[in-house]
Amino acid sequence: MTGWLVLGLCVLSFTLRGQGDTARLDTTVFQARVFYELVRQHHPLIRQAGLFGEEARQIVRQARGAFDPKLVSHYDRKEFGTDLYYDHWQNKLAIPIWPAGIDLNISYDRNDPAGKYINPEERTPPTGLAGVGLSVPIGRTLFVDARRNAVRQAQVAQNLAEADRISLINKTLYEAANAYWDWFLAYQQRQLLTEGYVLAERRFMALRQQAQLGDVAYIDTTEALITVQDRLVQRQQAVADEQNARLRVNVFLWTPDGQPVDLPPYSVPQMPPPTLPVDIIQRSLVDQASQRHPDLLKLDNKLQQLTLEERFRQAMIQPQIALSASLLSQTPILDVGYDWSSYYSFRPQNYKIGLDLVFPLFLRKERGKLREIQIKHQQTLLDRQHQGRAIVNGVQVAYNQLQALINQITTQQRTIENQQILVKGETDKFLLGESSLFLVNSRETKLIDLRLKGESLKATYQKTIARLYYVAGSTIDVTN
């Protein structure tokens, strides 16, 4: 009951919008635009789509973590018997810098001089040895390295997440539109078949009274009863179909706090709006599809990622050369200021320098990976061309179907009007005794079938409108 009340209030608030004070409200009509807006605001899949961007931002955050300053400390001490072998404390702060992949290094080492077995290259002054320096790649990772490549890839992935978000929203609204207009069709079928059943029952009751008076033969009442029973079966099936259609609509209805909600029992779908000027819509949607379709955006961003990866793999073919250099200084005593004039202060003659060179001779791994990325890039480019053509053609197919449906709806309405004339004429002849009940029922059944087909065409038209927006990668226009 609470869910129905919430939905009912939503229906009222949207129906009131844009109407004058003297307008009459029909609270039983659940407008399609209200339905779409409720789905857009509260459906779990729409909410899930909203999390894609946050997930992508956290991936970027993780990638940027490679540039976080890192503090490393290592302590090692050994005693055996009465001898102190060594007491070594090493500390290093590495600060990555984006340009050129440089690392700023600050270090502090202290090895207790009392140790008897200290590697000479690891000896330090009693107060310790401080160092400030840089580690600079001058080979393959000068312009791009794994850290910078990962950040750029993650930034492109944010655009991929946005395309996924739009795609999921469009798909959900498209499925919701299909469910709504299936409900409309089921409702109209139930209404028409109920109307046909009521007419047949009234005719049967009238004929039975006439048969009791001896004005008509009892065989006519049997034929009328068969018609009543046949239409009752059709009506019963239509009622079940409408109930199932309402259940499918309920799948898309949720409250703001994430609780499922059902259609109020008194709600009915709206009548379809008039047909739209599809020529203007088609031109705008073709432009939308060719430039901003989510599937094409995903492929474009995938191409960007592959381009970044290709640049990185090309750099991996170069020699890996890393130059490191640090200025060294004796650490001052805590209660004594730093003496810049000291021989052991930060001076050019106190330094540590190193050079690392790594170069696989055959480069089979690097060349194979580069070629793999190039092939994937070519495959994605071809897929982009194919998808672009298929999407534009899909929009054209939906547009052609809409054009055909507009003509079919117009023709079907004329056919219904002509059939109504036949039914009225046949009924008048029957009342004058110039026709049979069989012909009246046949004309009437044909009219019901034509009206059912007319409502089916209207529902198909609305679903095709939704499909036109969907294949174009655009959100359904809820104002229509």
Domain shared by 50 and 73, yes or no: no
- Same domain for 253 and 354, yes or no, is no
Q: Read off the DSSP letter of residue 265.
A: T
Is residue 26 in a domain? yes
Cα separation, 418 vs 409, in Å, equals 14
pLDDT at 480 (0 to 100): 54
What pLDDT, on a 0 to 100 scale, did the predictor assign at position 10? 43
Residues 239 and 182 reside in one and the same domain: yes
Name the domain count of the chain.
Answer: 2
- Residues 18-46, mean pLDDT to the nearest whole number: 73
The H or E element containing residue 445 is helix 437-471
35 in any annotated domain? yes
pLDDT, tens digit (0-9, with 9 covering 90-100), for 168-183: 999 999 999 999 999 9
Same domain, 250 and 228: yes
pLDDT value for 339: 62
Torsion angle, alpha carbons of 100, 106, 111, 112, to 10: 180
Q: Is residue 373 part of a domain?
A: no
Say if CB 392 and CB 290 are below 8 A apart: yes
Q: How sure is the predictor about 27, in pLDDT bands with cuts at 50, 70 and 90?
A: very low
* Together in a domain, 102 and 6: no
Question: Residues 179, 328: one domain?
Answer: no
- CA–CA separation, 374 and 404 (whole Å): 45
Same domain, 192 and 269: yes
As a whole number, mean pLDDT of residues 17-31 equals 52
Q: Is the pLDDT of residue 290 over 90?
A: no
In the chain, pLDDT over 70 holds for what percent of residues?
90
Residue 15 has pLDDT above 50, yes or no: no
* Residue 422 in this model has a pLDDT that exceeds 60: yes
pLDDT at 62: 93
Which pLDDT does position 360 carry in this prediction?
87
Residue-number span of the structural domain to which 335 is assigned: 69-137+320-358
Q: What is the pLDDT of residue 286?
A: 85
Rounded mean pLDDT of the chain?
A: 86
CATH of the domain at 388: 1.20.1600.10
Residue 155 shares a structural domain with residue 254:
yes
State pLDDT tens for residues 61-97: 999 999 999 999 999 998 988 888 888 999 999 999 8
For residue 315, tell me if it sits in a domain: no
**Binning pLDDT at 50, 70 and 90, where does residue 203 land?**
confident
DSSP string computed for 215-249: SS-HHHHHHHHHHHHHHHHHHHHHHHHHHHHHHHH
DSSP-based three-state secondary structure for 351: strand
Tell me the mean pLDDT in the region 325-334.
Answer: 79
Structure-block tokens of residue 43: 């459906």
275 belongs to a structural domain? yes
Q: Kindly state whether residue 370 falls inside one of the protein's structural domains.
A: no
Q: What angle do CA 305, 307, 310 make, to 5 degrees?
A: 110
What confidence tier does 187 reach under pLDDT thresholds 50, 70, 90?
A: very high
Query: Of the residues 358, 388, 422, which one is the last residue of a structural domain?
Result: 358
204, 337: one domain? no
Task: State residue 344's pLDDT score.
Answer: 64
373 CB-near residues (< 8 Å, 6+ apart)? 306, 309, 310, 313
For residue 139, give the DSSP letter: S
The model carries a pTM of: 0.83
335 pLDDT above the threshold of 70: no
Asked if residue 443 has pLDDT above 70, the reply is: yes
Residues 399, 416 within the same domain? yes
Q: Are residues 76 and 210 in the same domain?
A: no
Same structural domain, 266 and 388: yes
Per-residue confidence at 336, pLDDT binned at 50, 70, 90?
A: low
Average pLDDT, stretch 2-22?
39
Tell me the two tokens of residue 406.
């507009």
Q: Is residue 364 part of a domain?
A: no
* Mean pLDDT on 5-32: 48
Q: Is residue 265 part of a domain?
A: yes
User: Per-residue pLDDT tens for 222-252?
Assistant: 888 998 999 999 999 999 999 999 999 999 9
Instruction: Return the half-sphere exposure (C-beta side, CA atoms, 13 A cut-off) of residue 293.
Output: 24
* Section 102-130 average pLDDT: 86
Q: So what's the pLDDT on residue 12?
A: 40
